[in-house]
């Protein structure tokens, strides 16, 4: 296997790894409360998250920004908790344009934090290789492929519950956000750095 | 303290000081003793006598990785290279190890794990 393919695989496995499920859980909290009819908004939301994590993955991998990994490992479940709380406490998904604008901004900002988490893993893979452009691109492509797969799966599950089984949106939102929030609190207690 | 304990539980320990300027004389022999059990390279079916050229700890916290470089020269044309890397797969079911192989201008990357600890490159 050439290195490009290897890094694509590593990026894909990193985000889709069930053993390290924090990024998946964030995507669940971010996406599962949207109905399939809201796919355009969901697409923009996921793109905002992608832009955010791509920027900090690159900057952090190049050493432009440095934040201790233990802080990032704590902040990642914090983003899950805040997203889950926002789902429940905030206005229903996308009722207003300004409301969606806040959601996009939140996804972008939380993407910055997750990107630094990705870079902590990515930097460990680099063994003093000066040219990180190719591995970085490949790793990011792998993450995007994995992310698309995870989001597709989440939207599919939401479609089954909301459109086929007929679960009420509010109940579904509370169920998904409640699970995400509970797991986020557990992760936060495990990654507490002080 | 064994090499697994030193690397996994306390990579920054001062006793062995892996990959630090003040690395203990015991560190590299201990590492090789461990690697002999879980890692090998066979060129044209012959087991190679590996010596560490360099090593490096990169990343931090749970994302710490140990990189070890071996360099082997030889006159004989290489027809096959069998590599086993089962390092830490006895401790972690999802442990993956990356092997970069550079032979003249040809480079390959392998990801070996508990399921597939051995791979053979044909030249």
The interface predicted TM-score of the complex, written ipTM, equals 0.75
Question: Which of A2, A3, A127 is opposite residue B56, by nearest beta carbon?
Answer: A127
Q: Is there a contact between A33 and A176 (Cβ–Cβ < 8 Å)?
A: yes
Bridge partners, B57 (sequence order): B66
Asked whether the beta carbons of A9 and B111 are under 8 A apart, the reply is yes
State the residue for tokens 């983003």: A79
Per CB-CB distance under 8 Å, the chain A contacts of B111 are 1, 6, 9-10
Whose tokens are 């990169």? That residue is: B58
Residue B26 has pLDDT above 90, yes or no: no
Angle made by CA atoms A49, A147, B108, in degrees to the nearest 5:
120
Cβ–Cβ gap A128/B56 under 8 Å: yes
Q: Which of A109-113, A136-140, B7-11, B16-20 has the lowest mean pLDDT?
A: B7-11
* Nearest CA-CA partner of A68 in B61, B57, B89: B61
Tokens of A93: 């998904």
- Whole-model pTM? 0.83
Chosen from A76, A127, A187 to mutate, greatest number of chain B CBs within 10 A:
A127
Q: Which chain A residues touch B94 with a CB distance below 8 Å?
A: 17, 19
Collapsing DSSP to helix, strand or coil, A32 comes out as coil
DSSP labels, B103-117: ETTEEEEEEEESS--
The token pair at A30 is 């971010």
Whether the per-residue pLDDT at A94 is higher than 60: the answer is no
Q: How far is the C-alpha of A5 from the C-alpha of A185, rounded, in Å? A: 36
**Closest chain B CA to residue A118:** B63
A85 min Cα distance to partner chain B (Å): 28
Position A82 pLDDT exceeds 80: yes
pLDDT at A154 over 70: yes
Specify the pLDDT at position A100: 82
Q: Token pair of B26, please? A: 């015991």
Q: Chain A residues with CB inside 8 Å of B57's CB?
A: none
What's the token pair of residue B120? 């053979």
Confidence of residue A128 (pLDDT cuts 50, 70, 90): low
Lowest mean pLDDT among A101-105, A177-181, B14-18: B14-18
Tokens describing residue A115: 């990107």
Residue A178 has a pLDDT of 96
Q: Look at B58 and A9 and tell me if their CB atoms are within 8 Å.
A: no
Separation CA A190–CA B6 (nearest Å): 22
Question: Residue B41's CB: how many other CB atoms inside 10 A?
Answer: 18
Residues 6+ apart with CB under 8 A from A124: B58, B59, B60, B63, B64, B65
Strands B106-113 and B96-103 come out as: antiparallel
DSSP letter at B93 equals T
A window 98-137, beta carbon within 8 A of B: 120-121, 123-128
């Amino acid at each position: 296997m050439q290195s490009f393919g290897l890094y694509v695989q590593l990026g894909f496995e990193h985000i889709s790894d069930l053993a390290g499920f924090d990024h998946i859980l964030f995507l669940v909290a971010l996406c599962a409360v949207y109905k399939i009819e809201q796919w355009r908004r969901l697409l923009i939301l996921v793109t905002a998250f992608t832009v955010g994590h791509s920027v900090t993955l690159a900057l952090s991998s190049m050493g432009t920004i440095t934040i201790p990994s233990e802080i990032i490992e704590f902040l990642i479940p914090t983003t899950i908790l805040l997203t889950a709380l926002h789902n429940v406490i905030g206005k229903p998904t996308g009722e207003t344009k300004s409301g969606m604008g806040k959601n996009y901004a939140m996804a972008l900002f939380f993407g910055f934090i997750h990107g630094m988490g990705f870079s902590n893993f990515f930097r460990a893979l680099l063994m003093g290789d000066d040219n990180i452009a190719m591995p970085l691109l490949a790793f990011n492509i792998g993450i995007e492929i994995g992310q698309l797969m995870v989001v597709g799966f989440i939207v599919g599950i939401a479609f089954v519950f909301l459109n086929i089984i007929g679960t009420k949106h509010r109940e579904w939102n509370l169920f998904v956000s409640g699970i995400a929030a509970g797991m986020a609190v557990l992760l936060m207690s495990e990654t507490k750095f002080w | 303290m064994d090499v697994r304990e030193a690397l996994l539980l306390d990579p920054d320990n001062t006793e062995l000081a892996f990959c630090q300027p003040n690395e203990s004389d015991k560190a590299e022999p201990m590492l090789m003793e461990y690697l002999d059990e879980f890692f090998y390279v066979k060129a044209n079916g012959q087991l190679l006598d590996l010596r560490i050229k360099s090593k490096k700890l990169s990343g931090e916290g749970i994302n710490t990785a140990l990189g070890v470089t071996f360099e082997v020269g030889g006159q004989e044309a290489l027809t096959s290279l069998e590599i086993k890397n089962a390092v830490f797969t006895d401790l972690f079911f999802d442990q993956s190890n990356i092997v970069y192989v550079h032979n003249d201008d040809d480079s390959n990357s392998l990801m070996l794990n508990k399921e597939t600890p051995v791979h053979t490159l044909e030249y």
